[in-house]
Amino acid sequence: MVNAQLKAEIKAYAQSIGVQKIGFTHADYFQTLEKRLTFAAEHDLLTGFEHPVIKERVDPSVIFEEPRSIIAIALAYPNQTDNNLRSKRGEWRGVFARASWGVDYHTILREKLALIEAFIKEKVPTARFKSMVDTGELSDVAVAERAGIGWRGKNTLLITPEFGSFVYLGEMITNLEFEADEPMADGCGECTQCIKACPTGALLGEGRMDGKECLSYQTQTKGMMPERFREKLHNRLYGCDTCQVVCPYNRGKDFHLHPEMEPEEAKIKPLLKPLLTISNREFKETFGPMAGSWRGKKPLQRNAILILGRYKDQTAVPDLVNCLLEDPRPVIRGTAAYSLSKIGGGIAYDALIAAEKEETDAEAYQEISKALLQLSEKEGSY
């Protein structure tokens, strides 16, 4: 068997550095993935966050000279917090999805992959690697699936029997040949719980997803959030875990195996009002190390404004009026207008009237006019 001894040593080493699962696969073309990505591209189901060149995503030989194998790793992450911090009237909190708890997982997994590279290199100096986590060309889920780490569920995530879908994935292409592990059989069967639970209908069945309809994507965009998602956002500041939470394979799964992945409740369930006035420096210090800050503070502030509007938080009116009248970013002004119309009251109305006179951005102006109209219809004129 090719490099069987080395494979066993790599597995043992990976385990010793805190990798929960490791799998090996050949470096052939990913045919099923190509079909899936082509279908998604043709039906406008991609978000634009994905690596743009399909050929590079499905053919390792395009991005690596003479690839022989791909090694996939999975690290389990926590599912539960102590749950000490709860929202109260006037002190509403938003939530970050689990993949943003603790230190950015990209950093943690890259370190593990670098350690494994160094371990192999010491034994085989001619070994070459290309490692990636999430943002690389390859699909982490497709690689892990083929390497036998788990199966791709109808929620499009990789599900492992041991840790459910609460695993971070990474992989490395190498010029070394290893015997491939066996892929796992599909475990979803007739279950459709994730599809039924998705608040936006983004899961289309057969493992397909309309990426742009997914709230996880919507929480990360920088423009105005389309109106149909605003109420469905609920209290999500970043990401969405609904299709993981309902999955039967995640029931009872909660692993705390990496201290750096432990969530700090005040950061993953932050108070919303202070987020509206947070300075760049404070934002970087507080949220910078988290995966959920990668798009900067604007999407999170926009989401915080929407959540405050949904909760009809009267105590947030002064901060929202400030956003509406003073913020230099049209998206923040327009979103504040929307939420003020949800909360209502004379102060909100007067602020919207003043904002309508001053607004120069077309999109924000449209939001303000719509907000005024909705407020007048709801409460009559002031």
Residues designated as active site? 134
Positions in 156-175 near ligand SF4 (CB under 6 A): 159
CB 380, min distance to ligand SF4, A: 36
Stretch that binds ligand SF4, among 16-24, 87-95, 149-157, 330-338 (CB under 6 A): 149-157
Does 240 interact with ligand SF4 (rule: CB under 6 A)?
Answer: yes
Joined together, the tokens standing for residue 285 give 């210090």
380: left (phi over 0), alpha (psi -120 to 50) or beta: left
CA 216, CA 135: separation in Å to the nearest integer? 16
Does 237 interact with ligand SF4 (rule: CB under 6 A)?
Answer: no
Closer residue to ligand SF4, CB minimum distance, 36 or 130? 36
Does 14 interact with ligand SF4 (rule: CB under 6 A)?
Answer: no
CB 42, min distance to ligand SF4, A: 20
CA 237, CA 226: separation in Å to the nearest integer? 16
Q: Which member of 90, 161, 248, 296 binds ligand SF4 (CB under 6 A)?
A: 248
Closer residue to ligand SF4, CB minimum distance, 3 or 220? 220
Stretch that binds ligand SF4, among 30-38, 83-91, 193-201, 341-349 (CB under 6 A): 193-201
Does 323 interact with ligand SF4 (rule: CB under 6 A)?
Answer: no
Closer residue to ligand SF4, CB minimum distance, 245 or 347? 245
Closer residue to ligand SF4, CB minimum distance, 79 or 131? 79
CA 352, CA 369: separation in Å to the nearest integer? 8
Q: Which member of 147, 173, 202, 304 binds ligand SF4 (CB under 6 A)?
A: 202
Stretch that binds ligand SF4, among 24-32, 123-131, 202-210, 267-275 (CB under 6 A): 202-210
Stretch that binds ligand SF4, among 45-53, 102-110, 170-178, 246-254 (CB under 6 A): 246-254
The half-sphere exposure of 263 on its side-chain side, counting CA atoms within 13 A, is 26
Closer residue to ligand SF4, CB minimum distance, 49 or 283? 49
Q: Please report the DSSP string for 70-108 in residue order.
A: EEEEEEE-----------BTTB-B-EE-GGGSSS-HHHH
CB 225, min distance to ligand SF4, A: 13
Query: Cα separations (Å) of 74 from 23, 207, 246, 355?
Result: 9, 20, 21, 50
| Closest-CA residue to 143 (of 170, 167, 117) | 170
Q: For residue 327, which amino acid is it? A: D
Return the DSSP state at 312.
Answer: T
Does 20 interact with ligand SF4 (rule: CB under 6 A)?
Answer: no
Query: Cα separations (Å) of 1 from 36, 138, 281?
Result: 33, 27, 55
Q: Tell me how crowded residue 264 is: count the other CB atoms within 10 A of its CB.
A: 14
Q: Which member of 37, 215, 233, 375 binds ligand SF4 (CB under 6 A)?
A: 215
CB 151, min distance to ligand SF4, A: 9
Identify whether the C-beta of residue 317 lies closer than 8 Å to the C-beta of residue 340.
yes
Joined together, the tokens standing for residue 312 give 């009809």
For Cα atoms 321, 326, 328, give the angle at the middle one, nearest 5 degrees. 130
Residues 6 or more apart from 220 whose CB is under 8 A from it?
Answer: 49, 238, 239, 294, 295, 299
Positions in 332-361 near ligand SF4 (CB under 6 A): none
List the beta bridge partners of residue 262: none
Does 220 interact with ligand SF4 (rule: CB under 6 A)?
Answer: no
Interface with ligand SF4 (CB under 6 A): 153-155, 159, 188, 191-194, 198-200, 202-203, 209, 214-216, 240, 242-243, 246-249
